[in-house]
Amino acid sequence: MKAGIVGATGYGGMELFRILSTHPQISQIMLYSSSRAGEVYEEMFPRFAGGSRHELQDLDPEKMKEEQDVLFLAAPSGVSSELTPELLGGKAKIIDVSGDLRLRDPEAYQQWYKKPPAPVETLQEAVYGLPEWNSEAIRAAGVIANPGCYPTASLLGLGPVISENLADPSSIVIDAKSGVSGAGKNANPLTHFAHAQENFQIYKVNQHQHIPEIEQQLSVWSGDTRPVTFSTHLVPMTKGIMATIYVTLKEEKTAEELHSLFLKYYESKPFVRVRRPGEFPATKDVYGSNYCDIGVTVDPRTNRVTIVSVIDNLMKGAASQAVQNMNLLFQLDERTGLAPHPVYP
């Protein structure tokens, strides 16, 4: 299969290149750049030297959609809204890693992203690519909206409890933390080294663009609207997300019962690992991998559940989940090309 990456010079695009370079079904990778066409990728990033050379190409949607079997879009939000309509109707399947195609409601996109939304017809073609919950639709899709990093961790943590209608709808609190690579490669005041190191900061309070994405999927599971309190914090580490989720149960459950519930949903899912009762994961348990590790318990004094969900934001939160989606789109084993073990320490 031939794969193309838009945004290959960015953090998500680099991870895509790293994974696809050793994927057994990928025979050729084409890299596109809006700013550095003509330059050689391996000279720009010597860490990738030692194999084939890749000259960065100009974006030419007409050529791209006929020459590639799959196109990964890993550009800032706002780019895919315009580019995807031009890429439809060709040979290539499209996997968008940005937030542009995730929200069904264009007005919600405008409200939360403060940018013009993609055309409604394009949004209607896109399937939400959370493989553990949506694999059937993904297999039949032509366009995938890859989930956001925070929503991936949050939704995998909440899925079993919300699907089983166990939670008091108004009780959901997601307290999320991310490493700085979540903000991409361009410096901003929040992620500048001198500001971020030895610092721990909350940001986008009640304004984060992932709130409607999380609520949209919760309403798919529950059939009604579940507003969430969702807070994001910047942690002085390179990669990793931890979502600590609190929900109040409608009825009493033991920690063992909740553990069994999570196993029921995830035992057959290769990339979600549920910890034994009383055990909780850390971000380094999944570093560099496609895993989401989850720990769950309940406090019998408050009847409140604590769910801890960790991912690597650039992997399960972006690039490796996109490749998992590619595997499903092309009817491959979803594990193909996704190395099994995280990097440690």
Ligand X SMILES: NC(=O)C1=CN([C@@H]2O[C@H](COP(=O)(O)OP(=O)(O)OC[C@H]3O[C@@H](n4cnc5c(N)ncnc54)[C@H](OP(=O)(O)O)[C@@H]3O)[C@@H](O)[C@H]2O)C=CC1
Ligand Y SMILES: CC(=O)N[C@@H](CCC(=O)OP(=O)(O)O)C(=O)O
What is the amino acid identity at position 141? Answer: A
Task: Give the span between the Cα atoms of 63 and 79, in whole angstroms.
Answer: 18
Task: Give the span between the Cα atoms of 147 and 22, in whole angstroms.
Answer: 23
Among ligand Y, ligand X, none, partner that 232 touches (CB below 5 to 8 angstroms by kind): ligand Y
Among 57, 217, 232, 325, binds ligand Y (CB under 6 A): 232
Angle between helices 131-139 and 149-163 (to 10 degrees): 100
The answer to whether residue 61 forms part of the interface with ligand X (CB under 6 A) is no
Is 292 a catalytic site residue?
no
**Centroid of chain to Cα 308:** 17
Among 90, 159, 182, 240, binds ligand X (CB under 6 A): 182
The answer to whether residue 178 forms part of the interface with ligand Y (CB under 6 A) is yes
Among 33, 122, 154, 209, binds ligand Y (CB under 6 A): 209
Q: Which is nearer to ligand Y, 153 or 328 (CB)?
A: 153
- Residues 53-92 close enough to bind ligand Y by CB under 6 A: 77
Q: SS3 string of 278-303?
A: CCCCCHHHCCCCCCEEEEEEEECCCC
Q: Which is nearer to ligand X, 57 or 134 (CB)?
A: 57
Catalytic residue among 29, 149, 245, 292: 149
Task: Give the span between the Cα atoms of 143 and 93, in whole angstroms.
Answer: 6
The answer to whether residue 234 forms part of the interface with ligand X (CB under 6 A) is no
The answer to whether residue 228 forms part of the interface with ligand X (CB under 6 A) is no
- Give residues with Cβ within 8 angstroms of 194, minimum separation 6: none
Contact (Cβ atoms closer than 8 angstroms) between residue 137 and residue 143: no
Which residue ranges make up the site for ligand X (CB under 6 A)?
Answer: 6-7, 9-13, 33-36, 74-77, 79, 97-99, 148-149, 181-182, 184-186, 313-314, 317-318
